[in-house]
Amino acid sequence: MKAALQVVRLAAVLFVIGCFVSIAAATVVRVGNVTYDDRSLIVNGKRELIFSGSIHYPRSPPALWPDLLEKAKQGGLNAISTYVFWNAHEPAPGEFNFEGQYDLVKFIKLVQQNGMYAILRIGPFIQAEWNHGGFPYWLREIEGITFRTNNDPFKFYMERFVRKVIEVMKKENLFASQGGPIILAQVENEYSNIAAAFEGNGTEYVQWAANMAHSTNIGVPWIMCKQKDAPGTVIPTCNGRNCGDTFVRKDQTKPIFWTENWTAQYRVFGDPPSQRSAEDIAFAVVRFFSKMGTLTNYYMYHGGTNFDRNGAAFVMTRYYDEAPLDEYGNKNLWLL
């Protein structure tokens, strides 16, 4: 028992050091080839362990992005993960907005300038405790539409948005295959939670989503979060607090990724603060890597603010304020 406690304490120390000790700034990351095998991602011919953190660009003013990313880099991260917010980028059908607080290109370029990789979780259903799960409200008015199933009207608008995001990213050479920082992209999100409700239509939809994603030819692997039976070459990933114990690997040809290592719990009205100790987080990461995991993403690394009415029902304005960086981007000293 004493030896086990020492291991946990050592892991916690390493986690805290990673969170708060400055490291030398890296040069602008330029990738090229990204592949994978059963063990890990392979970037430019070299196996990589990915330590990522979620920072959502719409939840912080653009003026704060450089500081947030610099602190993430100082915290020992080599990647930044973000969702893409459909209702922010397409507020009306066919009218796209990638400016100001929704300037995804600027955000990804800042990630690259900080010498880090990027993970682009397009969805476009994202959940994220965001209004309508990221779906624009005008989508509800489309005749004959049913969300997230083998439904032609939904698939049409979903594909149009996914391709628009990819077009914007490709134009700026932001995928690793173009020399950019984006090494992974995600289609759909936690679909296993609702797949049974759609029966065969759900299975067909997941297969369609995977095929559609591959047809975009972005040159980097695709992932599906919490999708144990991810089709084809799409990599399934885990969400939770202890993915070293909860993830069931069905396909032995794919690596083991943890897309959401929950650093705390988002707050809803009436709930007390949620704090997860550094020891607990560190032990979970060590255990995950001991089980052949090679990518962990802290969700959230910085939560930020749900501005206006963007938060989901009952979610507070602050988002994951107990993450390593609080709502204002300050280091959360309780982790010490």
Q: Which residues are catalytic?
A: 190, 260
∠ CA(65), CA(66), CA(71), 5° rounding? Answer: 100
Q: List, as one string, the DSSP characters of 203-226.
A: HHHHHHHHHHHHTT--SS-EEEET
Tell me if 282 sits within 8 A of 261, measured CB to CB. no
d(CA 42, CA 44): 7
- SS3 call for 241: coil
Residues near 142 by Cβ (< 8 Å), separated by ≥ 6? 153, 154, 157
β-sheet with 34-36: strand ranges across: 34-36, 41-43, 46-48
Tell me if 294 sits within 8 A of 46, measured CB to CB. no
How many residues appear in the chain?
336
How distant is the alpha carbon of residue 117 from its chain centre?
A: 12
Tell me if 301 sits within 8 A of 53, measured CB to CB. yes
∠ CA(320), CA(275), CA(295), 5° rounding? Answer: 65
Q: What are phi and psi of 260, to 5 degrees?
A: -140, 100
d(CA 248, CA 60): 35
CA torsion through residues 66, 68, 73, 77, sign? negative
